[in-house]
Structure 1
Amino acid sequence: MKIAALSDIHGNLAALEAVLADIQQQGADVIVNLGDILSGPLYPSQTADLLMRLGLPTIRGNHERQLLGADPARMGPSDRFARGVLSAAQLAWVRDLPATLRLDDDVLLVHGTPQDDLSYFLETVMASGCRTATHDEVRRRAADAEATLILCGHTHLQRTMKLADGRLIVNPGSVGLPAYEDSQPFAHRMEAGSPHARYASVTRSPRGWEVEFRAVEYDWHAAADLAASNGRPDWERALRTGYC
């Protein structure tokens, strides 16, 4: 089995289309979507239309949960922008997405960790910034999840770690937003370091799961220009450079 894992599209339609074209060239038995799909100042509605047509195995992320909140005035700007342009049918699709999903008996899809869509799986945030999580930290977060492969998203960084018990955790990085800043639990930055659209190809072989991280070119300057025109200079810089 060859799985193309996508995450954190954030309404970046051009990045998504470039990734799908790359997957078509590289081949995949199934494409999965790990959440944070639409929120952002780009093309939430058009991205939803495409994904609804494709019918990929898809879970919700924290941004799907947030943009379904009762009061748009209390949402962050990315969720509020998406909420303002999504149709009732698109919101219903988002509402029906599961928090986690089993692709096969031994493949688990999560957004953050198996327990929480806001927790980082393979990174740890400290007062001094963000670092790669230790094996012990990742083992505790994986808890008793029974899967040889756990696919996660949320941090927008391509990373993988194999635990001593054989479980492999893979974050494919972000299709649509290569950098962001957050203040919780401490101020930190997540930066991919280039503006490429990212995903992972994970293949089952006689030796176990093998991971290939992909970085795909697309017209990120056009995406950055759109973010700027929609009042998001933070997104403009992230999309154009891969840095905050």
Structure 2
Amino acid sequence: MRFAAIADIHGNCAALEAVLTDIGQQGIPTNAIVNLGDCLSGPLDAGKTADLLLSLDLPTVRGNHDRYLVEQAVSDMGHSDAAAFAQLTAEHLDWLRSLPASLVWKNEVLLCHATPQADDVYWLQTVSRDGYVHQKARTDIEALAEGISQSLILCGHTHMPRAVMLSDGRLIVNPGSVGCPAYSDAEPVQHRVETGSPLASYAICERRDGLWNITFRLVPYDHHRQAAIAEANGRPEWAAALATGWLS
């Protein structure tokens, strides 16, 4: 089994197109790509991204921002969700509503956005009281994986490419973010997540002799053009993140 995992596109269609091209160049067909959610939210090309994803019909789970787009009133949405919502059609919103919170793919891989229990909780990282992001203790990571029989568990949400092996050999992999390399969040306390690179991230997963081989790939694209779109849409922090992988 060999396939690609993508996550956290956040309406960055240019990054998604570059990643899809790279996936194809690695000999992986479209029907061997899985999507871990947070597809559209952001001040970029939500409508175009939605059209492309609907045409691909990838196995996809719902991210927290996908949920916000269909559960919240526009007046209650954050800036990124509201900007995306303004570009979406009824068909796009129906597709978001149809996405499951998690799913098992080909009986061997569990897909979720953040954790199987919640779409807005960091699985592999934790945030200290002073706003620093740290690796979570293995016991805490493993507690969230209790009851999962699949040997490979895929999650997104933090935008940081990462792999953690559990004590029983199961592997949790975050492929990183296709379209949003840095962000800030006020929950549980104000903090920043910054990858330090503007490149689009995804992962290739391959099972060989019963063991998972994971390759993280960083793909160049015209990120400066996307940064200019964010700037023009009044989102300088997004512009900085897209241009550099840092928020400032």
TM-score (norm 1): 0.98
Matched residue, 1:156 = 159
Q: Which runs of 5+ in 2 are unaligned?
A: none
- Alignment: residue pair count: 244
SS in 2 for 1:80: helix
% identical aligned pairs? 52
1:186 aligns with 2:189: yes
1:239 maps to a residue whose letter is: L
1:4 aligns with 2:4: yes
Q: 1:70: how far off?
A: 4.2
Note the 1:108-147 alignment, pairs <5 A.
Answer: 108-128=110-130, 129-147=132-150
Counterpart of 2:40 (choices 18, 38, 58) is 38
- Residues 136-183 of structure 1: per-residue CA shift (max 9 Å, x gap): 111011121121000000000000001011110000000000000111
SS in 1 for 2:229: helix
Matched residue, 2:56 = 54
Q: 1:27: how far off?
A: 2.1
SS in 2 for 1:48: helix
Q: 1:121: how far off?
A: 0.9
SS in 2 for 1:198: strand
Structure 1 range deviating more: 140-149 or 10-19: 140-149
TM-score (norm 2): 0.96
Matched residue, 2:211 = 208
SS in 2 for 1:68: helix
Q: Is the 8 A contact 1:114 1:145 kept in 2?
A: no
C-alpha distance in 2 between matches for 1:198 and 1:117: 20
C-alpha distance in 1 between matches for 2:213 and 2:136: 21
Matched residue, 2:14 = 14
C-alpha distance in 2 between matches for 1:214 and 1:87: 32
C-alpha distance in 2 between matches for 1:123 and 1:71: 30
1:232 aligns with 2:235: yes
